Amino acid sequence: MTNSVPSGQTDVDDWFDLDRYREAAGVAYEFSKKKMEDAGEQERKTIEKGASEQRFTEASQEARDNRQARQAYKF
């Protein structure tokens, strides 16, 4: 056997290596954390883009309204 089996155990399959479990859990945690950070960054970019487009649209509408108001005011 390549792994040492604790006393009282008959086979490697009867137990698991706690250190290997902790290592795997750490890897899964880091992967999960990175994935959430990436999703958050993408969401921030999406919100920023939407807000920027909304400001542009509002500015365009205001300019249009002002132009129409000036044209209508002329006699």
User: Which tens digit of pLDDT belongs to each residue from 21-40?
Assistant: 899 999 999 999 999 999 99
Distance from C-alpha of 23 to C-alpha of 13, rounded to nearest angstrom: 19
Q: What is the pLDDT of residue 60?
A: 93
pLDDT bracket for residue 70 (50, 70, 90): confident
pLDDT bracket for residue 15 (50, 70, 90): low
> Residue written as tokens 């993408």?
42
What is residue 40's DSSP assignment? H
Distance from C-alpha of 43 to C-alpha of 45, rounded to nearest angstrom: 5
% of the chain residues with pLDDT over 70 = 76
> What's the whole-number mean pLDDT along residues 6-21?
69
